[in-house]
Structure 1
Amino acid sequence: MVHSPTKSLTLAEFLKLPETKPACEYINGQVIQKPMPQGKHSKLQGKLITGINDVAEAQKIALAFPELRCTFGGRSIIPDVAVFAWERIPLDASGDVANVFETHPDWTIEILSPEQSQTKVTGNILHCLKYGTSLGWLLDPDEKSVLVYPPKQQPILLQEEDEILPVPDLVKNFQLTVGQLFGWLKL
């Protein structure tokens, strides 16, 4: 269900709505439905989550989450991959991972889908950086490129196969080149 742009909701009203498939995000008073993930998107997302968690989870350094709703700074967004430093993962009263994350991820990764607006996705990455995220990636599977968004710096475009993708310090043991990343799309 995509909300009509003629009447905007408050964030509180949006958060009371039932979840949809695909999920909706709340951006600048509007409800915007994310596109349904397709093959390339799903493959890259799964490999990134597994790779990051293989390096960071056992040592309790960080945890990568797929499609996790993060509500902060007046928006409710769902990065394709949201990575949280271990000590920043919200917990419920019993010490389990909380269902509600009312904070920014430490690292946000977005994978552009064919029908998705690059401007909207970039806006979400910039919003995360504004509120404390230490790094953003925007992957374009069709162009086989990655736009890297460091905080308070100009974005970096990486397209060469041997270029090493920068990662946040908290997962510095996770190393990946552009070629390795998009090589995951081959069977």
Structure 2
Amino acid sequence: MEGPRPIFLNIGKTLANTIAGFLISLGLTLIAIALYHLNDHLAAFVEALNTFIQSVSALIWTLIFLLIFGLTSILPPISVVAATSFPILLTLSLNGSKVVLEKYGDIAKVMRAQKLQLIKYFVMPGIVPYIASGSRAAVGNSLRISVVAEALGSSGGVGYMLVYCYNLGYKGGVFAWSLVLIALMMLVDGIVLRPLERWARNWMS
């Protein structure tokens, strides 16, 4: 397969892995935030879980998921992205939820809001700008981690092509795919992540 098609296919695979992993981490973050505010025992569990996940390096997560799913599965890169993005989003969202409750907790008490109502109408809407702001760091991190996971075990993607060219001794290919990765990260940051962070800051101000 010649021409630019292989380049776009591998870029698309890396982007798909990154987006899928990020969306999983986002969903887990929202669930964790809801559990955190249900009762003190769940709050302690979420805090401990966050600390544990943060303490595990991306390389260890990659090896674990490769052992579980296999070298040819599409799941290791996605799972690694989710595992490494989750603590970033969760930490910022927890901090944001505490700020929201400091501002609007008294109003919720006056309205006699129940736990679920507090989470639904105050906490979840209030943490949106914090999630948006943290998404820049999370997605940027996800792109880098996805490439590492693809390099160690995948059948495609930018990371796979980097290792493929390296194993063939093709220096030009290694540099070319490195530049592709850098350009991809700059493009995603400039077009999507930076405007998203700017919007979040305007909302919070």
Q: TM-score, normalised by structure 2?
A: 0.25
Of Structure 1 and Structure 2, the greater strand share is in 1
Structure of larger gyration radius: 2
Larger RCO: 1 or 2 (CA < 8 Å, sep 6+)? 2
Of Structure 1 and Structure 2, the greater helix share is in 2
